[in-house]
Amino acid sequence: MGFGGRRHMELRDPAPWPARHCSAWYSDGTYMYVIGGDPQSGCLTDVWRSANGTDWILMEDTIPGYSQRNNPNYAHANDDLYLFGGEQCGGVGSNEVWRSPDGSTWTQLPDAPWSGRGMQVNSCVDDLGRIWMLGGSNEGDRRSFNEVWRTSDGMTWDLVNPSHHGQAGTGIPLLGSTRNSG
> Is pLDDT at 93 greater than 80 in this prediction?
yes
Sorted by where each starts, the structural domains of the chain and their CATH numbers stand as 71-180 (2.120.10.80)
Conformation bin of residue 140: beta by default, left when phi > 0, alpha when psi is -120 to 50: alpha
Q: What is the dihedral of CA 46, 98, 170, 42, to 10 degrees?
A: 20
Q: What's the pLDDT at 180? A: 42
- Asked if residue 96 lies in contact with residue 46, where contact means CB atoms within 8 angstroms, the answer is no
Confidence of residue 19 (pLDDT cuts 50, 70, 90): confident
Taking the model in full, what pTM does it have?
A: 0.81
